[in-house]
């Protein structure tokens, strides 16, 4: 092919290639840009720093009340109210992470209660590895300040969600579950003492520990598998099926009670917030879930 023809051919092909490139660029320009990722309205503030929320599958979806709620952030190193840092958080040197007892955090907690006064809705963002007793202090402080609704923020498949929390309202166990025997003189039995606010039913309590769960039922600490009272752990590890079976065994022979749908979960033995949440998730699911799960104050 003559040189002039080869040049013409290259120019022609270059023209077609250029035209195709322009058409492609135009098509890309007409394509709608991807919509921006919608921010989770309940996500922790970025300014707070590292914060690993505990997982839970039973939290509530966001509501309008959450948008205006006061936020508490409890990280491994600091305590915030909104964007204001008001304390250094739990300090292991005080024994706070290892033992369930009050500590020098009382000053920060007092300041927290003062500044929460008048707030109806409070959201608690607490790191899953914090000692669970820190959570009970935070919830208690918010309740003392007058908060009507306190929720622990959790992380699940649907994102950040609020788990409503209520503190336990322990009831005195009834001193009798059956009428007394007739008197020795053969007369009628003595009248039963007034019931008051005692609970004749299961009155179930669960102590969440790093190594398992202790079941407290009808005034007694249940031994392994809840077959009889005894020391040690009722359920070892995080076996959900074993815990539900243990609770079912504890119910046998116990009269019905208005509080049979209520269970208190309290931390013990240095349990973390994550340990307590795992137990709460177990008792709120399954064949016979508890409708009311309360956070115990030790």
Q: Which residue has the higher pLDDT, 248 or 41?
A: 248
Q: Which residue has the higher pLDDT, 237 or 169?
A: 237
- Whether residue 5 is contained in a domain is answered as no
- Whether residue 20 is contained in a domain is answered as no
For 263, half-sphere exposure in the C-beta direction (CA atoms, 13 angstrom radius) is: 28
User: pLDDT at position 57, please?
Assistant: 77
Same domain, 136 and 241: no
Same domain, 51 and 161: yes
Same domain, 160 and 208: no
User: pLDDT at position 213, please?
Assistant: 96
Which pTM was predicted? 0.71
- Whether residue 180 is contained in a domain is answered as no
Same domain, 51 and 140: yes
Residue 21 has pLDDT above 50, yes or no: no
Query: For 181-207, what is each residue's pLDDT tens digit?
Result: 444 555 554 444 444 455 555 678 899
Query: Which percentage of the chain shows pLDDT scores above 70?
Result: 64
Residue 2 has pLDDT above 60, yes or no: no
Same domain, 64 and 161: yes
Same domain, 61 and 159: yes
Question: Per-residue confidence at 40, pLDDT binned at 50, 70, 90?
Answer: low
Query: For 117-159, what is each residue's pLDDT tens digit?
Result: 888 899 999 999 998 888 888 888 888 888 999 999 998 877 8
User: pLDDT at position 167, please?
Assistant: 86
Same domain, 209 and 158: no
Residue 29 has pLDDT above 60, yes or no: no
Structure tokens at 79: 């305590």
- Whether residue 144 is contained in a domain is answered as yes
- Whether residue 27 is contained in a domain is answered as no
- Whether residue 89 is contained in a domain is answered as yes
Mean pLDDT of the chain: 74
- Whether residue 124 is contained in a domain is answered as yes
Q: Which of 117, 135, 165 is where one domain is finished?
A: 165
Same domain, 137 and 89: yes
According to the per-residue pLDDT averaged within each range, which of 11-15, 25-29, 66-70 is highest?
A: 66-70
Q: Which residue has the higher pLDDT, 50 or 152?
A: 152
Average pLDDT over residues 284-297: 87
User: pLDDT at position 238, please?
Assistant: 92
Range of the domain at 239: 204-295
As for how many domains the chain has, the answer is 2
Residue 74 has pLDDT above 80, yes or no: yes
Q: Which of 165, 183, 216 is where one domain is finished?
A: 165
- Whether residue 242 is contained in a domain is answered as yes
Same domain, 240 and 160: no
């Amino acid at each position: 092919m003559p040189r002039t023809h080869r040049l013409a051919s290259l120019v022609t092909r270059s023209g077609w290639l250029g035209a195709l490139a322009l058409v492609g660029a135009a098509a890309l320009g007409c394509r709608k840009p991807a919509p921006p990722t919608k921010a989770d309205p309940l996500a922790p503030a970025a300014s707070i720093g590292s914060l690993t929320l505990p997982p839970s599958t039973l939290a509530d979806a966001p509501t309008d009340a959450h948008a205006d709620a006061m936020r508490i952030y409890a990280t491994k190193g600091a305590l915030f109210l909104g964007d204001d840092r008001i304390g250094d958080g739990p300090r292991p040197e005080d024994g706070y992470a290892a033992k369930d007892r009050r500590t020098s955090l009382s000053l920060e907690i007092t300041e927290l209660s003062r500044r929460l006064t008048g707030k109806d809705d409070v959201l608690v963002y607490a790191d899953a590895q914090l000692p669970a007793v820190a959570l009970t202090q935070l919830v208690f402080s918010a309740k003392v300040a007058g908060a009507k609704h306190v929720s622990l923020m959790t992380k699940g498949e649907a994102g950040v969600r609020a788990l409503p929390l209520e503190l336990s309202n322990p009831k005195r166990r009834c001193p009798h579950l059956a009428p007394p025997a007739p008197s020795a003189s053969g007369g009628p039995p003595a009248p039963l003492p007034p019931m008051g606010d005692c609970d004749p039913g299961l009155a179930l309590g669960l102590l969440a520990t790093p190594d398992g769960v202790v079941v407290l039922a009808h005034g007694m600490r249940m031994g392994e598998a809840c077959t009889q009272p005894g020391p040690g752990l009722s359920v070892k590890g995080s076996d959900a099926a074993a815990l539900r079976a243990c609770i079912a065994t504890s119910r046998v022979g116990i009269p019905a009670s208005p509080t049979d749908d209520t269970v208190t979960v309290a931390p013990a033995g240095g349990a973390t917030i994550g340990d307590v949440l795992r137990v709460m998730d177990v008792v709120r699911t399954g064949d016979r879930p508890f409708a009311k799960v309360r956070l115990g104050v030790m």
